Amino acid sequence: MYLYDKYDQAMVDARVEEFRDQARRRLEGKLTEDQFKPLRLMNGLYLQLHAYMLRVAIPYGTLNGAQMHALADIADKYDRGYGHFTTRQNIQYNWIKLEEAADLLSDLAKVEMHAIQTSGNCIRNISSDHFAGAAADELVDPRPYAELLRQWSSFHPEFSYLPRKFKIAVIASDKDRAAMRLHDIGIRIVQNEAGEPGAAFYVGGGMGRTPMIAPCIREFVPLDQLVTYSEACLRVYNRYGRRDNKYKARIKILVHELGAEEYTRQVEEEFAHLQQQGIEPPLAELERLKTYFADPPFDDGPKTVDRSDPDFALWVDRNTIRHKHDAHVSAVISLKPIGGIPGDASADQMHLMAELAKQYSFDELRVMHTQNIVLPHVRIADLPALWARLDEAGLGAPNLDTIEDIIACPGLDYCSLANARSIPVAQKISERFSANGKTAALGELKLKISGCINACGHHHAGHIGILGVDKKGVENYQLLLGGSEAEDVALGKITGPGFSEDGIVDAVETAADVYLRERSDGERFLDTYRRIGIDPFKEALYG
């Protein structure tokens, strides 16, 4: 994985001192809260319902054991002994004191981490495929490209006061494990007909209150123009993105209002201009970055394992993923225990995951946008020992991509924007399906819950989505069906009137039962929904 050189370290250290100075001026009253707000946001510090929340960047979700240990130490030292892994492949802490935030950032900088641009109207942490460098189906490892753009977008002088936040995802596979087309810019590394590598640019996707799927605005940008093309996309947005209404300020609205064709024309015009400006790093820089993402020394070993323990076999079937090296798998550590808070991990659990990464996965971990943790490179021979340690620590839930593997935003338990609680709904659903035994029969079923229309819980993209709203002071939950964030990207449709907190749990089970009744061989929930449409579900829910 990427390691800082003296330049990267100097920049992160400077940022800590800048923030320390800004926080001091705020505490002394020299900065108003309005003036301080964008500064603290660009360091990941939000004011939540009960305290400050600090979001730490985990670039493209990759971290090493020492970094995971440091995240655990921070949970103990500055928070209440736990952290929350997010849909942006980051971690956030919910109980931070402003007075201590600079010290926290300083601790992060010691392990080459930061909270730069994890919030605010700027280019956010760049996300990627959580199986990058391990997946059998990838063209190349997308992370060097993500790192190139991370550096370009860090402290960008022109694009730090954009109309609204800006999220970029980079993938390099036909399989989309990063919700690429639901980003402001989605980049897919591709090969053209001549076999040369380049990047397809999808611009103007997003969730939020107006979900949009990004159109492809250019099928092939040569690798030595990635930064320049990105700069052109951002400049057109900075110039014309709406600033009169924060709910219409994302680039998706601009692309929609101008039309993809006109937006593209303007980007191409700006791109032609910027190509004369010499702003592109040389390909040698990309080659330098690639060396950090070279394969670890995989060794040949057994390709099968003793499956006589049924609990272990179930975990292997559900939570391990085929690897490009056939004596290895990627193993997913579920942060979705039955009745637990999706994405939460205690300091002890983080320490354990760090140790296991060192012992079994070449000291590397990934954060999934589905709020789980991956050990990307595990020898098949090591799986029984790994599973035993996970199971003992309550981290062995065999539920990847099942109805128990729920994405949920923090909701009204923490968030000042929320209209309804998300976490208790997730807890009740996982308890319900664990108790009724239907999880296995349902197979792949991605359920996502947001506590308000900002859609941090990705409800638009769930096979089943739940949106919490406030209905005359009472929490009410709408049900959506048919969304997908994957390569078959689609936006879910609302079934009809909403439900109470308990009613939504029943409604999910009703929808699941329609699928179990109607499915053909081999169909996932989403496939059946697409074949039969929403009406049979409505009939069962409201009929």
Partner 1 sequence: MAEIIRFRDDEPVDHPAVTVDSFLDQSNANAVRVEPGDDARALIPHLAQLHLVEVNFPAFGDGRGYSSARVLREAGYDGELRAVGDVLVDQVAYMKRCGFDSFEPDTTLDPDTLGAALARWPEVYQSAADTRQPIWSKRHA
**CB of residue 288 vs partner 1: minimum separation in angstroms?**
7
- Nearer of residues 19 and 387 to partner 1, judged by Cβ: 19
Q: Give the angle 309-314-316 at the CA atoms, nearest 5°.
A: 95
Q: What is the 3-state secondary structure (H, E, C) of 140-191?
A: CCCHHHHHHHHHHHCCCCCCCCCCCCECEEEECECCCCCCHHHCCEEEEEEE
**CB of residue 54 vs partner 1: minimum separation in angstroms?**
19
First to last CA, the chain: 54
Give exposure, 239-278, as e/b (b: 16+ Cβ within 10 Å).
eebbeeeeebbbbbbbbbebebeebbebbeebbeebeeee
Q: Give the angle 16-124-372 at the CA atoms, nearest 5°.
A: 100
- Nearer of residues 8 and 487 to partner 1, judged by Cβ: 8
Amino acid identity of residue 36, one-letter, is: F
**CB of residue 48 vs partner 1: minimum separation in angstroms?**
21
- Nearer of residues 281 and 503 to partner 1, judged by Cβ: 281
**CB of residue 123 vs partner 1: minimum separation in angstroms?**
11
Q: What phi and psi values does residue 361 have, to the nearest 5 degrees?
A: -140, 40
**CB of residue 241 vs partner 1: minimum separation in angstroms?**
9
- Nearer of residues 156 and 265 to partner 1, judged by Cβ: 156
Rounded Cα distance between 129 and 367, Å, is 10
The encoded tokens of residue 281 equal: 């790093």
Q: What is the 3-state secondary structure (H, E, C) of 380-407?
A: HHHHHHHHHHHHHCCCCCCCCCCCCCCE
**H or E stretch at 297:** none
**CB of residue 164 vs partner 1: minimum separation in angstroms?**
11
**CB of residue 156 vs partner 1: minimum separation in angstroms?**
6
- Nearer of residues 285 and 527 to partner 1, judged by Cβ: 285
DSSP state at residue 296? P
- Nearer of residues 2 and 433 to partner 1, judged by Cβ: 2
**CB of residue 422 vs partner 1: minimum separation in angstroms?**
29
Rounded Cα distance between 119 and 54, Å, is 9
- Nearer of residues 151 and 454 to partner 1, judged by Cβ: 151
User: Residues 6 or more apart from 11 whose CB is under 8 A from it?
Assistant: 154, 155
Length of the chain: 543
User: Residues 6 or more apart from 520 whose CB is under 8 A from it?
Assistant: 528, 531
**CB of residue 25 vs partner 1: minimum separation in angstroms?**
7
**CB of residue 251 vs partner 1: minimum separation in angstroms?**
14
**CB of residue 201 vs partner 1: minimum separation in angstroms?**
19
- Nearer of residues 35 and 191 to partner 1, judged by Cβ: 35
Burial class (CB in 10 A: 0-12, 13-18, 19+), 21: exposed
Q: Which of 454, 451, 484 is nearest to 467 (CA)?
A: 451
**CB of residue 532 vs partner 1: minimum separation in angstroms?**
48
How many Cβ atoms are within 10 Å of 63's Cβ, its own excluded?
27
Residue ranges binding partner 1 (CB under 8 A): 5, 7-8, 10-11, 14, 17-18, 21-22, 25, 30, 35, 38-39, 121, 151-152, 154-163, 227, 235, 238-239, 243, 273, 277-279, 281-282, 284-285, 288
8 Å CB contact between 413 and 350:
no
Note the Cα 190 to chain centre separation in Å: 22
**CB of residue 202 vs partner 1: minimum separation in angstroms?**
23
**CB of residue 133 vs partner 1: minimum separation in angstroms?**
23
Report how far apart, in Å, the C-alpha atoms of 513 and of each of 434, 507, 508 are.
Answer: 15, 10, 9
The encoded tokens of residue 120 equal: 């605010």
Rounded Cα distance between 307 and 216, Å, is 45
The encoded tokens of residue 490 equal: 């689609």
- Nearer of residues 160 and 454 to partner 1, judged by Cβ: 160
- Nearer of residues 113 and 162 to partner 1, judged by Cβ: 162
- Nearer of residues 180 and 226 to partner 1, judged by Cβ: 226
- Nearer of residues 32 and 304 to partner 1, judged by Cβ: 32
Report how far apart, in Å, the C-alpha atoms of 48 and of each of 51, 200, 413, 418, 526 are.
Answer: 5, 37, 10, 10, 35
Sequence-ordered alpha helix ranges (H) in 329-400: 347-360, 383-392
- Nearer of residues 279 and 440 to partner 1, judged by Cβ: 279
Burial class (CB in 10 A: 0-12, 13-18, 19+), 423: buried
- Nearer of residues 39 and 139 to partner 1, judged by Cβ: 39
